[in-house]
Structure 1
Amino acid sequence: MRIVVAGAGLAGWRAAKALRAEGFRGEIVVAGAEAHRPYDRPPLSKGLLTGATGEAALALSDSDTEVTWRLGNPVATLRGRTVVLGDGEELDFTGLVIATGSAPVIPAGLNRPPGVHVLRTLDDARALKADLTGRVLVLGAGFIGCELASTCRDLGLPVAVADPLPHPLVRVLGEDVARRVERLHRERGVRWLLGTQVVKFLGRDRVSGAVLSDGRVVRADVVVIATGVRPATGWLAGSGVDVSGGVRCDEYLRVLDESGAVVPDAVAAGDVARWTHPLLGAPVRVEHWTTAALGAAAAARTLLHGPSAPFDAVPSFWSDQCGLRIQGVGLPGRGEHVELVHGNLAGDKFVARYSTGGRHVGSVAFGLPKQLALERRRLTSA
């Protein structure tokens, strides 16, 4: 009896722990691309760079779960009921947990001189921390880009953020709330380069700046590419698994093939999973910590005991930026109408409710965690 967990991040580790907690006593092999034991990623763009969080505090793994590690040796191929690792090792399995997460999107055609970084892994964060000085340019105004901008200002570094969209986080928060985020950062000294994107980096031995699509030249000593991620599904090519928009799953997190049939003894969780959410009424793929943790436990139960209850955890997120905590539940990005139900956009404490067709689909709070808890209750009881 062997279960292979493909991916050694949060979802993979939580799945391994849940398998043991649910009574599985066979071998659990956890294979991952990184050489590190599982660790927490959210501090990589915040406390780890400022020094407020040490590397030891990132660790997720402990010694009470018997696991066979294959670290620095990711799953490379799926062939029926066998996975092939990067070094050629073949592992037959009785169960498979797909938790390979996501990988950074690098804009096509961009040159990458020294001083241009991405931020996804602990090694990425180490390299960026050692290099973080002078003028910083961030590509992408999503959560990672905004958190990086905030971190740079905490360190006293001048920072500019370029993004082709008109406002930061606009796809998640909608225009009005996104404008508030934009103002929050501007008040802290962040320079926004919105409605444009980088087409070329300057410098050969070391990055010295970038050329924007509107013709402007921005000087920079360090660049961080934070233009989003895509699900890490390349290793599933030719396996028959449906990887449209992620690993396609049913409402129980069972993996589906390209015909829509359930793949026997295979489940998925975390950033890579795209499942039919029973409350939200649509397939979703959620790149948030809480969904990964809860989904991994649900996937493990399904793998061992079969489908029982659909995975209906409401997506939630939090992001610390410029001294404020932004929290959300549901899928506010799918809302067509936004209503302020507490406070106002001029202040630092408010709650926005998002709806579509009269249906509550999500809420976002600035600095009001108790009110957000009420919004979560309202969303799940709708």
Structure 2
Amino acid sequence: MSVYELPVHRNLLHCSYANSIASVPVGNSQFWPLYAIRLLSHQSSSTNICPDEVKVGDEVLNQIIAPRENASRCSHETFDACIDKMCRIGHLAAAAQLLKSLCDGKIPLSSSKAYDMVLLAASESGDTTLLFQVFKDSLVSCKSLSSTSYKSFANAFTRTNDSNKLLEYVKEIIEMTFPNCIVINRIIFAFSKCREIDKALQIFNQMKLLSCRPDLYTYNIILDMLGRAGRVDEILHLFVSMKEDGIAPDIVSYNTLINSFRKVGRLDMCLVYFKEMVAVRIEPDLLTYTALIESFGRSGNIEEAWTLLREMKLKNICPSSYIYKSLIGNSMKMGKVELAMNLLKEMKLSDSKLAGPKDFKRRKS
């Protein structure tokens, strides 16, 4: 039987599309998508899908039935188009089944785009069960998901208070990926970006309960998240726990602490951790000096801030316009007009050499 003659029974088309896809016998893994897309094209004709969308199904079908030698070049675009259409018309279970069939049949996808589409659609529909199944399938397929998919995972749980289900899923993911922390770290990071601090902390605590040892990157994510939320007491507690767990803080850890205390006006604590990082032979960088100079300036210690500016230049660390503007503004507030004018002149002369936004990007752990 040719691929053009794949049977499409009338009674099958009238039942649930997801059940239809799941019931298709898979003799040849390449034929399954053909059958799925043909069903999709027929199904579209009975819904409110515009002609252009139906045409997508026909084009996808023509691409898939191309000779085997052409499949390797166009199959990923074909499958992406098919899955995109399934998601747009709400057939998420079928899209998920197609992804699983491709994985089981060892048909590679060139990127995580297909997974991204299904995870986003599942997240927006609030279907956390389907979302988790697709997420697990992506891990099995060894496909590295994009930050968009991790964000979809986190967003799905911002709409629910079912912490038990979340922690159950996290437990399963940890069991699948242990001892590697990359996946869990990216999940925690996604929750922190969604400002779901408590859920991120629940996942972090779940790691510890399951003897999945958080690494330096895990701690840095949590430190940064707490710092942005102004929860400095928890930062101090976590920083102590970090060292007790045998994780040595790095430049990112110390910068996070110093910057967090800068935000709440605690110059004293900024200096404590600045001295500690120097004592353990971690060299201050642009972020360190920026936080300290602003802290000194805001507290009225202009001379100390000026000293730090000279020190960083001696170490060949280029100041930014932000540092100069902060110092100039604080100097004016303290009535040090001459110093402010000298700083303004220096900033203009150094304009082409000043550090830019890219220089403030955090180093990866």
Bin the TM-score by the shorter chain.
under 0.3
Q: Which has the higher strand share?
A: 1
TM-score where L is the length of structure 2: 0.23
Rg comparison, structure with higher value = 2
TM-score where L is the length of structure 1: 0.22
Q: Which has the higher helix share?
A: 2
Greater relative contact order (CA < 8 Å, ≥ 6 in sequence): 1
